[in-house]
Amino acid sequence: MTTMNLRKTVTLVDEIHTEGGQAVSPVARTAVVAAVIDNPWAGQGFVADLAPGIDAIAPQLGALLAPLVVKALGSPVEAYGKGAVVGLDGEVEHGSALIHTLKFGDHFREAASATTLLPAVEKRAAAGTVFDIPLKHITDATVRSHHQSVEVRIPDAPRADEIVIALAAAAQGRPQARLAPLKSEQ
């Protein structure tokens, strides 16, 4: 049986107090929680059937990260997203396998009272790479004010045989958002 080997979690919280020279009220808050785990498929060559690893690890990751990111945000979630960065000895598909399943994402949807699909980023990269997690509104992906991204970097991860899995949440849309609603152009 495949098990999840967790090396560490990282929590990032960003608060924007001023944007465009104007005070932001309430303060715009975004949180990210990332887990750095051993890649369960690293060193095995091409693995055709990823399902056993998905079944074993994705639910554990979702159950671990969803409550942590909601707690770190400290406010109701209005926008959310997810990401996976696979170390150089893995495949992008390894990260995708863990985050593109309801066994992972439903934990966050439930914790955030959300109904939309989680936007995602996935890539293969060396430790310390920067990745941007896209965020969308939790119940309506067409709400323009909530289209944003949060930048993440973990200096020592992923190692070549690791995967970084992250969830991001925002308590609001972009600071000082003022684009017209999508419906105004239809």
pLDDT of residue 184: 65
Report the number of distinct structural domains present in the chain.
1
Domain annotation covers residue 130:
yes
pLDDT of residue 152: 98
Question: Taking CA 76 as the corner, what is the angle to CA 10 and CA 9, rounded to the nearest 5 degrees?
Answer: 10
Domain annotation covers residue 33:
yes
Domain annotation covers residue 74:
yes
pLDDT of residue 43: 87
| Range 17-40 average pLDDT | 96
Domain annotation covers residue 1:
no
Q: Provide φ and ψ at 9, rounded to 5°.
A: -120, 150
| Range 23-46 average pLDDT | 96
pLDDT of residue 6: 98
CA-closest candidate to residue 161, choices 38, 10, 48: 38
Asked whether residue 34 carries a pLDDT value surpassing 70, the answer given is: yes
CA-closest candidate to residue 58, choices 108, 13, 10: 108
Residue 173: domain span: 6-185
Q: Model confidence over 106-156: pLDDT tens digits?
A: 999 999 999 999 999 999 999 999 999 999 999 999 999 999 999 999 999
CATH number where 74 lies: 3.30.1330.110
Report the sign of the C-alpha dihedral through residues 17, 19, 22, 25, in that order.
negative
Are the CB atoms for 80 and 168 separated by under 8 Å?
Answer: yes
Which residues are registered as beta bridge partners of 162? 38
Domain annotation covers residue 54:
yes
- Identify the residue whose tokens are 């945000």: 73
Model confidence, pTM: 0.95
Query: Whole-number mean pLDDT of the chain?
Result: 95
Domain annotation covers residue 124:
yes
Q: Provide φ and ψ at 140, rounded to 5°.
A: -150, 100
Are the CB atoms for 65 and 168 separated by under 8 Å?
Answer: no
Q: Model confidence over 80-114: pLDDT tens digits?
A: 999 999 999 999 999 999 999 999 999 999 999 99
Q: Does residue 102 or residue 178 have the better pLDDT?
A: 102
Domain annotation covers residue 11:
yes
CA-closest candidate to residue 2, choices 43, 56, 50: 56
